[in-house]
Amino acid sequence: MIAVDVGGTFTDVVALQDGEIRTAKVSTDYTDVTRPVLEGAALLGVAGAPVFNHASTHGLNAVITRDVPKIGFLATEGHRDILDMGRVWRPAEAILDPGWRRSFGDAARPLVPRYLRRGIRERLTASGDVLFELDEAQARAELEVLRKCGVAGVAICLINAYVNPAHELRLRELVREVLGDVPCSLSSEVSPLAKEYARASTTMVDALMKLIYADYTARLEKGLAELGFTGQLNFADCAATLVPSHRAMEQPFRIVFSGPAAGTVASAHFGSLIGESQLLCADVGGTSCDISVVTGGEPFVDTTFELEHDLVVNALANDVSAIGAGGGSLVTIGATGEIQVGPGSAGSTPGPACYGRGGTQPTTTDTCLLIGIIDPGTFAGGELALDPALARQAFENLESDFSLAQRVRYAYEMAVHNIAEGVFNVAIKNGVDPRDYSLIAYGAAGPMLLPAAMDAVHCKQVVVPPNPGLFSALGLLSADQVFTVNRSAYTVLTPDVAERIDTLFTEMEAQLRERLSADASVTFERSYDGHLVGQSWDTPFVPVPDGTLDESAVAAMIVSFHDTYQERSGNRFEMVPVEGVTFRVRAVLDTPKVEYPQLPARAEDEPLAPVRTTILRYLGEGAEGQEAPVYDRTALRAGDEFDGPAIVHEGLSTTHVGAGQHLVVGRYGELVIRKK
């Protein structure tokens, strides 16, 4: 099995063959994103592999940078500005800022400018009845405008189309007649859910992703075929569950944020092996730190997520928070002379100053190199030699009154503080006590920085899994193949609606079975999102009984709602009726998962010994330096233990064990770091 995670700085590729995990790391190329994927696949060999699992931030980066194709947006007349208005929410930091504008609006960087958003004369009622028939002549005239503007695709979102798709279906036929065979996304197919803006936003993103990923997927499939790959290409969705590529391209909005979610799944799977079900997951890469929570062995999943503030996508997604903190985070001087780290990043081009690729600003990688945590000769498996002199010059060029030692030390402390603050805030947001949680440190820079954040996060321990630099890619070999269908149907739960709800679930399960082979080993999982009558927000993922739904099953659904509501909010209001909003079925296929080999214990005649010692500088006020042994991770054995300060080197990552910390090697080779 092979998996690839295309990140902002590096493309990580892992292969599992005969119980052996092999890895490759290639710099991401924004001019041709398929190149590093195919290069890594060629290094590991894909001929004969049964599956190739793929996660990417390619679509997300296109949205963020506005490198998107030109599409049209058709809405019910009078509603074409829905994309510009969003939900009229502001981020907390902008509540009192009169100059704030949402990033995707017409006043900033619109994804679909107003002249490409056209109103169509028609109207359906909330029950799906036709209030005004579709004006086909007027629709053709508006489509002629889009044709003259040269749009490459169209998104269609009409009022109440999730109840009755008739007008959207006819509009698609008119699009074909006027614009030809261009990609066309209908809200009634993409996201047949209530809440008008979220449905419109999701449909727009889907239309963009169809254009962005169509050529990408074709080139990827062609390149893999040339390398001898004949197996199944799967794309990971936003919950890091796997979907065959041809199915993913039917609704590509689901894969727009797949990369960060894979690390959460990898953490949950590995946590189950080592007996840790309460996890704070931190993926520290070159550009960002992606943080998530696993409770009771399960990632926290949302029914929607945001690409930017208020740019909503209706897709099941692991709840991942990103902050601008990583190995490439730039060290700068603030307006009052203070040291700042991030959120800007040097990326892979030009990269940190020590890379020697033209970068002149110091980064967190330069900081750790000068401290002595990073070995300039073995970085990235020895494929990239680092130049400490360039890192030193970059720090000396900062306009600051601080000494060099202070600049480096404060830069390191700020980098650690930024990550610790991000992890702690995510823990508090999710209502968990970090003292009961283990912090999983992965990403190339995670083991280097996260042990130092242990005291600030107040976590139980830090766990560095095997292959931390490619751990997210390993998550794609820990994921299930899942198909999901959901529909909105506002229904107050009373005994008389049992037949209606049963019919709804029966239809959705039949729709899923059409996508599966007859002999597929599959488990169906039912749930619904509901609220107390009168509420404007929903409580998601309320369990629904299997089998035929009768009056007793509806009663069980009501009890399940109150249980779930109490678990999430601490309150219970059994006297208030419950209304179901969105009903959901997930088909989970039995999927092979990565197995981590167990590490043997150390033989009596094989003493634990470091490969050398190094001096860690600048870590304390006036400190001359700390002498630290350096261990080769491949030489460690289960049960090995030692005190910090110490360094553990491996091919694609470095673990820094601080003074006052103790490391124990687990049975799967995990490094468990605790306070002494």
- Tens digits of residue pLDDT in 511-529: 998 888 777 778 899 999 9
pLDDT at 11: 82
The whole-number pLDDT of residue 622 equals: 56
Selected residue with higher pLDDT from 288 and 543 = 543
* Rounded CA separation 143/137 (Å): 10
Which structure tokens are listed for 581? 């909003």
The total number of residues written for the chain in this structure: 676
- Tell how strand 117-120 and strand 71-76 pair up: parallel
Q: What is the mean pLDDT of residues 212-216?
A: 89
pLDDT in tens, 139-197: 999 999 999 999 999 999 999 999 999 999 999 999 999 999 999 999 999 999 888 99
pLDDT classification of 344: cutoffs 50, 70, 90: confident
**52-61, 71-80, 332-341, 556-565: segment of lowest average pLDDT:** 52-61
Mean pLDDT in residue range 113-125: 96
Name residue 494's amino acid: T
pLDDT > 80? residue 598:
yes
In the three-class reduction of DSSP (H, G, I as helix; E, B as strand; rest coil), residue 645 is classed as: coil
Q: How far apart are CA 240 and CA 258, in angstroms?
A: 6
Nearest 5°: phi and psi at 45?
A: 85, 120
Query: 531 vs 372, 502, 528, 631, CA distance in Å?
Result: 55, 19, 10, 55
- Before 343, cis peptide (omega within 30)? yes
- DSSP letter string over 595-637? -PPPPPBPPTTS----SEEEEE-SSSTT---EEEEEEEGGG--
pLDDT tens string 491-508: 999 999 999 999 999 999
Return the pLDDT at 353.
92
Q: Residue 623: is its pLDDT beyond 70?
A: no
Per-residue pLDDT tens digits for 360-386: 999 999 999 999 999 988 777 667 789
240-292 pLDDT, tens digit per residue, is 888 888 888 999 999 887 777 888 988 999 999 999 999 999 999 887 888 99
Mean pLDDT to the nearest integer, 334-353: 86
Spatial CB neighbours of 364, under 8 Å, sequence gap ≥ 6? 325, 326, 327, 328, 329, 331, 341, 411, 412, 415, 445, 449
Instruction: Say if CB 195 and CB 307 are below 8 A apart.
Output: no
Confidence class for position 621, pLDDT limits 50, 70, 90 = low
Does position 395 have pLDDT exceeding 90, yes or no?
A: yes
- pTM score over 0.75: yes
Cβ contact 46:230 at 8 Å: no
629-663 pLDDT, tens per residue? 999 999 999 999 999 899 999 988 999 999 999 99
The CA distances from residue 66 to 106, 153, 295, in Å, are 13, 16, 36
Give the residue extent of every domain in the chain: 69-215, 481-589
The 3-state DSSP class for residue 20 equals strand
Q: Mean pLDDT over all residues of the chain?
A: 90
